[in-house]
Amino acid sequence: MKIEHLVWLRNDLRCLDNPALHSASLEANALKKGVGVVVTITPTQWSEHNESDAKTGLRAELIKTLAKTLARLGIPLHIINADTYDALPDVMTAFCLDHGIKHLWFNRDLPIHEQQRDHAVCEQLHQHQIKTHTLSADLIVPQAVFSQQGTPFKVFTPFFKRWLTLLAQQDITPLPAPESQADPLPEPSLNFLTWEKPFRDDLWPAVHDIAKQKLWLFCHHKERHYQESRDYPMQPATSALSPYLALGALGPRQCLEAIIYTCNQEERRWQDSIWLKELAWRDFYRQLMEHFPFLSMNRPFKQETNALLWRNNKAEFVAWCEGKTGFPIIDAAMRQLNQTGWMHNRLRMVTASFFTKLLFADWRKGEAYFMSQLIDGEFSANNGGWQWSASTGCDAAPYFRVFNPTRQSQTYDKNGDFIKRFVPELATLDAKSIHNPSPEQRKQCGYPEPIIDYKPARLAAIAAFDELKGR
């Protein structure tokens, strides 16, 4: 079978519910032509975007798994090495011409560098009469969510209400995987994709069926209690599916399907699911990237916050990165990040608030460090979360986002179990002392004194935003 249709996969490494792969397969089958898949490898570009070794390693293994699945369907997967986005127009064009490709299909990416990449590739392909087909972005609600005035939402709550309305109007059934188009192909050898990048494959196996199983187990056993248990880092209450969503091993509509089925079985309104709301936040931040391209350029959403004079103390930054701030819950969270490539969601807010409000350090430095460590690093969500915490983004309120780390610890890690797990030098302390050890206890445990004084640091942050308001 002559292959004339090529599907370009990026952060959508799956067969199920993949608009580009589904549409390309339908059209190719109707014309009795074949479909191929291509994945572009751009390690220098990923490095420039601060992508973590953990995410790179997981991506490589997911590509291998996907290649085997496609081979069983008679669909070949090709690897193109291009190093950076700038090289892609030439190498993609050369590949298409060499292989007789007449159609390129892909799902939209929303950050500006990715949009520029896609535009450049399409423009060059069009010069050679190769048609390009752009499908919807990897969102639950793929179309733009606008207000009644036709403008993008800048606050989540009204966005969510409109998002739910649009969701009720669309077909929410996940798209099927493509049918077999030929006899199974020989199993591809892609050992060169390891790149020697380690990741916690014991926590996130690079197997699509396991990711799907984790999704349904979460919805069956944990989703109902998500709201009341999600804030406690020692409880296995979160889905921990974010690495699979970040690379597209799971599609967001697959998550929606699981939510709807589970809620219907339990006679609950699926629209009230708090986990669904979390997925809506993901859509929200992704759409902001498209509507406000400057968010991809290290600029704050609230332009007036450019006037803030961040302290940017180098020693404090290093202490925060290494989990040696002298605040046990902050240090435990940062060590969890460094050791696993993942951090509990509440602790992401607490550590980001500590960084931007108490250390009063530039949120862009924290954002970049998180991306360099996170196995689930998504640029839009990471940027949105950091700007939310720094009160430089949309939907931001500076006074309510100066978290007291000790109080957060006492509330959500009451017995200090999470702290003991990641800050083992404090494991002998009792449940009361562990949240803020005395100077003597710190000395005995070999644990540092706090690098800042909470109360004056909090007041200084509030004063800085007050001054900003007054301008």
Question: So which residues are the catalytic ones?
Answer: 278, 281, 310, 345, 363, 386
Q: Are the C-beta atoms of residues 155 and 394 closer than 8 Å to each other?
A: yes
Question: Residue 106, SS3?
Answer: strand
Q: Are the C-beta atoms of residues 71 and 185 closer than 8 Å to each other?
A: yes
Q: What is the total residue count of the chain?
A: 471
Q: Please provide residue 276's backbone torsions phi and psi, each rounded to the nearest 5 degrees.
A: -60, -40
As a whole number of angstroms, the distance between CA 260 and CA 240 comes to 19
Amino acid at the residue 212: K
Q: Are the C-beta atoms of residues 239 and 247 closer than 8 Å to each other?
A: no
- Please give the structure tokens belonging to residue 204: 């996130």
- Range list of H helices, 222-327: 226-229, 242-246, 252-265, 274-291, 314-322
As a whole number of angstroms, the distance between CA 136 and CA 28 comes to 19
- Please give the structure tokens belonging to residue 269: 């309104």
Round to the nearest angstrom and report the end-to-end CA distance of the chain: 68
Give Cα 288 distance to the centre of its chain: 14
As a whole number of angstroms, the distance between CA 117 and CA 326 comes to 44
- Closest C-alpha to 7, from 115, 106, 153: 106
As a whole number of angstroms, the distance between CA 357 and CA 461 comes to 6
Q: Please provide residue 11's backbone torsions phi and psi, each rounded to the nearest 5 degrees.
A: -100, 45
As a whole number of angstroms, the distance between CA 328 and CA 436 comes to 7
Strand order in the sheet with 3-9: 77-81, 34-41, 3-9, 103-107, 131-135
As a whole number of angstroms, the distance between CA 374 and CA 46 comes to 13
Question: Residue 148, SS3?
Answer: coil
164 contact partners, CB below 8 Å, separation of at least 6: 271, 280
- Closest C-alpha to 57, from 292, 375, 471, 463: 375
As a whole number of angstroms, the distance between CA 368 and CA 48 comes to 10
